[in-house]
Structure 1
Amino acid sequence: MRGDAPTLAEIARAAGVSTPTVSKVLNGRSDVAPATRARVEELLHQHGYRRRAAGPPSRLFDLVFHELESAWAMEVIRGVENVARQEKLNVVLSEAADRHSPGQSWVDGVLARRPTGVVLVLSDLDAAQRAQLGSREIPFVVLDPAGDPADGVPAVGTNNWHGGLNATRHLIELGHRRIGIIGGPSRMLCSRARLDGYRAALETAGLPVDPKLVREGDFHTEAGYSAGRDLLSLPQRPTAVFAGNDLQALGVYEAARELGLTIPDDLSVVGFDDLPLARWVGPPLTTVRQPLVAMAETAARLALQLGRGERPASTRVDLATSLVIRHSTAPPRLLAPSV
């Protein structure tokens, strides 16, 4: 094969297939045998093939969620929609079905749609999928990455460690000394960072990190309820809980109610995200504001910049968090006997 950029015919000869077959692979057609597709994709990647200009991309923007079922997701959708509306794009929503990366059927659909850009939420592409999108010049950005993105992968997140630090420090400054935490899944980068911030605040204040007060959740209300019941039933229960996100905080609210505890008189609770519902629960929730709409807007604009061939100042962006103090936190009163 020549040293310069290969043609489709050259890729086809090297793969032992016809030029139309290579074209089908490039366009995400499903009527190609998996082994043939893999062989062609490997050659495209090996020779750094980039699609020649074949007209502008479609007026579509792909938004892919790890899972799509909460108010958290609605905030992200709102941010991407804001940018899409300005750019006169339509948004295609997909769900990775709890996988770390979307499946091959999604990749085939993206190759066929040729969207203007892609944002993946709490998920990422594996090396082969990145190569596939790269060879078709489809830009993508990871939003709130579940793990540490590979080198060169554009990503937008938030300062989770600082948020966890501020949430815990607020409770310490109120006088709490037994502070529980219900984190998210340990495989997620944001969960580990919030837990590390919690630990750092305790250690800085000279307080021990008691493993009995640490629980792992899954960022859903049911996990907050279950872990909250567990923590609040300890012989020496915590006087405060950092719930890790707002949905888990709602679960802690219900656990406290069932155990006859009043918030914030008997228990202080802090969440994370500052979803719209945080203002309307009773009492209104003290929480760490994660700028979800701004994060989504930033990720969408970054993908569009990359698609236009621009060179952004940075392809790794972390937005700041801030503590929003409402009525779910207060100084602890004398701890009553265990419930």
Structure 2
Amino acid sequence: MAADEPTGTATLRDVARVAGVSPSTASRVLNGGGRAVSDDLSVRVLAVADALGYVSNQAARALRGQRSGVVLLGGDPRTASIAAMGAGMEEAGRERDVAVSITAVGPDAETHLAALRILRGLRPLALVVTSASFVGTDRELILAELEAAHREGANVVFIGEHDYDFPAVRFDDVEIGHLVARHMASLGRSRPAILTSAGHPAMEGRTQGFLEALAAAGYERDAIAVESVEISREGGRTATRRLLERAEKPDMLLAGNDVLAIGAIHEAHEAGLNVPRDIAVSGVDDIPIARDITPPLTTVSLPFMEAGRAALAMALDGDDQADIHLQSRLIIRDSTVPA
């Protein structure tokens, strides 16, 4: 049976041919992504599918006990980055007639393992794992569960930095740190500080990049304050409060992500400081609110939707693939100005 032949002899291509549309248009209508297709065209495709007795690939696979669907595992699907990755995967999945879902794996190893075991029972085609979802868990236990899923036939792909034997879509967080720090070093300020989160792969890479580029620009490593906190706006506020209590208050602050940076800006305002006149602040991720706060945040735009699309393709195309490295770009806004 052909890959696109879900049941009997009626295939997606049969429906597209009889309806006089492309296979991708037929797939959008039949798999829930038909908002970009006219009502008349949708009615025609659905009528042809009904006349031919077409059953979608996902339903047919389930009836035959075969694997179906790709699952994105994220720590918190409400975050802008996970939502964008999921949107990219879902968009690419419609094009390839594959269902995509997002699962929150929970804040600790126990809930993470429970989610993975349930997913193994559902027999997905593949699991796409965000590196950040490993934070706060027993990595070896989680890795063993992913390896078991892989042995059972599910492809495993990571988004983000990791050091396991699975293919990945990577952002190069160290280079992102270099990119931000070179800009901040160009502002002519003298007292840099860093907000980060220990144990978070992306944060650790960015912090390494911050420190390397600042050192290359002539800043003394031992004079750079580094505050490690939970990744939340309150974490950013707490860390900034500690920094502002120092005898040598920082005049520029490099945050490992936008959430920490936004917390830092709020705390600076609360302390009576002007951002960016008194303290310049930068972030990473370019979440939607970054451009709407006062002042708008200098940050790095990461191609999260592109990462989702690339991860979906890797997940469906199997093992032995080279990692994909995506480029990021610096977005300079009003939160950073020269001293």
Q: Which TM-score band (shorter chain)? A: 0.7 to 0.9
* Change in CA separation of 1:297 and 1:100 when aligned onto 2, cut-off 3 Å: farther
TM-score (norm 2): 0.73
Query: Contact between 2:170 and 2:325, CA under 8 Å: does it hold in 1?
Result: yes
Q: Which residue of 2 aligns with 1:134?
A: 150
Give the share of equivalent positions with the same residue, in percent: 27
Instruction: Find the aligned partners of 1:104 and 1:331 in 2 and give their Cα distance.
Output: 48
2:317 to 293, 305, 309: 305
Q: Which amino acid aligns with 1:328?
A: S
1:154 to 148, 167, 192: 167
Instruction: Find the aligned partners of 1:232 and 1:261 in 2 and give their Cα distance.
Output: 10
Q: Which residue of 2 aligns with 1:319?
A: 326
Q: Which residue of 1 aligns with 2:270?
A: 258
1:165 and 2:165 equivalent?
A: no
Q: Which amino acid aligns with 1:223?
A: G
1:92 and 2:92 equivalent?
A: no
The CA RMSD measured in Å over matched residues stands at 2.2
Query: Contact between 1:243 and 1:272, CA under 8 Å: does it hold in 2?
Result: yes
Q: Which residue of 1 aligns with 2:216?
A: 204
Q: Secondary structure at the match of 1:118?
A: strand
* Change in CA separation of 1:103 and 1:73 when aligned onto 2, cut-off 3 Å: closer
TM-score (norm 1): 0.73
1:219 and 2:219 equivalent?
A: no
Q: CA deviation at 1:130?
A: 3.3
Query: Contact between 1:182 and 1:216, CA under 8 Å: does it hold in 2?
Result: yes
Q: Which residue of 1 aligns with 2:129?
A: 120
Q: Which runs of 4+ in 1 moved over 6 A?
A: none
Q: How does 1:102-121 map to 2 (within 5 A)?
A: 103-121=112-130
Q: By percentage of residues, which structure has more helix?
A: 2
Which range moved further: 56-65 or 189-198?
56-65
Counting matched residue pairs gives 270
Q: Secondary structure at the match of 1:330?
A: coil
Q: How does 1:1-339 map to 2 (within 5 A)?
A: 57-99=66-108, 103-121=112-130, 122-123=132-133, 126-145=142-161, 148-150=162-164, 152-184=165-197, 186-210=198-222, 213-306=225-318, 312=321, 314=322, 316-332=323-339
Cα distance per residue 1:42-76 (max 9 Å; x no partner): xxxxxxxxxxxx95744422111123342232222
Q: CA deviation at 1:95?
A: 1.8
Unaligned runs of 5+ in 1: 1-53, 333-339
Instruction: Find the aligned partners of 1:165 and 1:100 in 2 and give their Cα distance.
Output: 32
* Change in CA separation of 1:205 and 1:100 when aligned onto 2, cut-off 3 Å: farther
Q: Which amino acid aligns with 1:99?
A: D
* Change in CA separation of 1:279 and 1:127 when aligned onto 2, cut-off 3 Å: closer
Query: Contact between 1:82 and 1:297, CA under 8 Å: does it hold in 2?
Result: yes
Instruction: Find the aligned partners of 1:305 and 1:231 in 2 and give their Cα distance.
Output: 48
Unaligned runs of 5+ in 2: 1-62, 135-140
Q: Secondary structure at the match of 2:221?
A: coil
Instruction: Find the aligned partners of 2:302 and 2:260 in 1 and give their Cα distance.
Output: 15
* Change in CA separation of 1:269 and 1:57 when aligned onto 2, cut-off 3 Å: farther
